[in-house]
Structure 1
C-alpha cells in the first residue's frame, strides 16, 4: 500500500486505487520565465521518486509531463537537467497555454506550491514546496537558478532536495550543497568497500522500516536517516549494508554504487 496526502483534503489516500497495477502520474511544470530553476527540479524529482517507489513495490508507472510551450533551447536544457539529475524521461510531454490550468487524466498530479491547480479530472494532488536560495554573501549559490545541477557532482542537488519532506520549503545554500557532496562521496566509498565482503540479505526489520517510510507519504528524509543509522550499526554485516544501500538507491537515484570496483582497478 502506498499512501499520499491529497492536497485537496489533507487526508492520506491509497494509490493507485484497489485492484489496479498501473500508477498514472502527471507532473505539471510551472512557467519557465528566467530559465530552469530549483523549483522546476523539485517538481520533476518528486514525480520521478514517486514512479521509482511504485516500481519498487511491483507496480507499473506511467509519467506524463505538462509544461508551457517551450523554445527548442529550453527543451534541450530541460532534457539535460533531467539526465544529470537521474530523472527518468516522461512517457509523454504535453504543452499547455500559460493562461489555462493544465489538465490530464492521472492518479496523481504533481504541482508546484502556488501554481494553478489542474482541472477537475480526478486524482490525488501533490503540492511541492517552494525552493529558495541564499544570496552569495550568506553562502548561497548566487542566483535563483544556481541550484540547477552543475559542477563535479550534480546529484548532490538531488540528495539535498530528497532530505526534506516534499511539502516543506527548502533553502539552498553553498554550505548545504557542500555537505551533500561530502556525504555522497563518503557513502559511495563505503558502498564500494562493503561490496568486497560476502553478500548478506537485507535484515527484515530494515526492509519493513524502509517500505513503511515510503508508504507513509513518501517520507524520504526518514529513509535517508535510516541509511545513516545502518552505516554506523556494527551489528549489520558489511554485505547486508551493501545490499540495503543498493536496494534503496533504486528509489533515491543517488548512484551510490558508482565507485564499486574502481579502487581495485589497475592502470596498465
Structure 2
C-alpha cells in the first residue's frame, strides 16, 4: 500500500484508491520568469520519484505535466533539464493559465508550496521551497542551477532527494560538492561489488526500503538505509550490489555507471 499525506488535511491517504492499479499523477510546473530554477527542478523530481515508487510497488502510472505557456527556448530548456536529471518523460504535456483551475484529472497533484490553485480532485501534495546561495557565497549561479561547470547533474538530484520533499531545502556550492563526492564513492563501490557473486537483497533491507517509500515517499530514509548497508560487514558485496541497483530504480542516480569501467576503490 502506497500512502501520501494530503496537504489540505495532513492525513495519509492510500493511493490509488482500492482495487485500482493505475496511478494518475499531475505535476504542475510553477511560472518560469527568468529561467528554470531549483524549485522547478524539485517539483519535477518529486513527480518522478512518486511515479518510480508506484512502479516499484507494482502499479502502473500515467503522468501529466502542466506548464505555463513556454516560448520555444524555454520548452527546449525544460526538456534538457528533465533529461539530465533522469526524470522520465511525462505521458502528456500541456500548457495552462496559472490563474485557472487545474483541470487534469489525477489521483495526485504535485505543486510548488504556496501555489494558488482552485479546488482539484485527488490528493494535493505541496513541494517545499528551495533557496540557493548567491555565487559569491558559494552557491550556483542562476544559469547553472542544474549543473555548474564540472558538476554531475545527478548531484543535484541526490542533494534534493536528501530532504523530505515537504521541507525547505538550500542548494549551496559546498552541498553540491559533497553530493558529487558521495555519488563518485557509491558508484565506485557498486562497480567493485558487481565483480562479486550475486546475492539477493537482504529481506530486512527490502522490508525497510518498501516501508519508507510507502510512507509518504521517505526517500531520505532510503538514502540512510543504503549508507547503513554500505557499512554493514555482514552483508556480502554481491548483496550490496543488488540492493543499490534495486533501489536506484527509485533514486535514479545511475549508481551502476562505473560497472565494467576501470576504477579504484575510494579510501
State the 1:97 CA deviation. 1.5
The answer as to whether partners of 2:102 and 2:120 remain within 8 angstroms in 1 is no
* Residues 28/11 of structure 1: CA separation in 2 closer, same or farther (3 Å cut): same
Matches within 5 A, 1:10-159: 10-117=10-117, 119-143=118-142, 146-150=144-148, 151-159=150-158
Say what the alpha-carbon RMSD is for the aligned residues.
1.2
Matches of 1:121 and 1:47 in 2, distance apart? 17
**What is aligned with 2:239?**
240
CA contact (8 A) 1:81 1:149 kept: no
- Tell me, which stretches of 5 or more residues in structure 1 are unaligned? none
Can you list the C-alpha shifts for 1:174-197, whole angstroms capped at 9, x where unaligned?
000000000000000000000000
Residues 106-149 of structure 1, C-alpha deviations (whole Å, 9 max, x = no match):
000000001122x4342000100010011233221233x54223
Spell out, residue by residue over 1:26-64, the C-alpha distance to the aligned partner (whole angstroms, 9 max, x if none).
000000011100000000000000000011111000000
Instruction: Output aligned runs, 1:185-196, within 5 Å.
Output: 185-196=184-195
Q: Which runs of 5+ in 2 are unaligned?
A: none
SS in structure 2 opposite 1:262? Answer: coil
Structure 1 Cα separation of the partners of residues 9 and 98 of structure 2: 26
Shift of 1:103: 2.5
1:231 aligns with 2:239: no
1:66 and 1:149 mapped to 2: Cα distance?
Answer: 24
* Greater alpha carbon shift after TM alignment, 10-19 vs 146-155: 146-155
Question: Is the contact made by 1:85 and 1:149 (CA closer than 8 Å) also made in structure 2?
Answer: no
TM-score by length of 2: 0.96
The secondary structure found in structure 1 opposite 2:23 is: strand
What's 2:254 paired with? Answer: 255
How many residue pairs align between the two structures?
262
8 Å CA contact 1:37–1:146 kept in 2: the answer is no
The CA deviation at 1:263 is 1.3
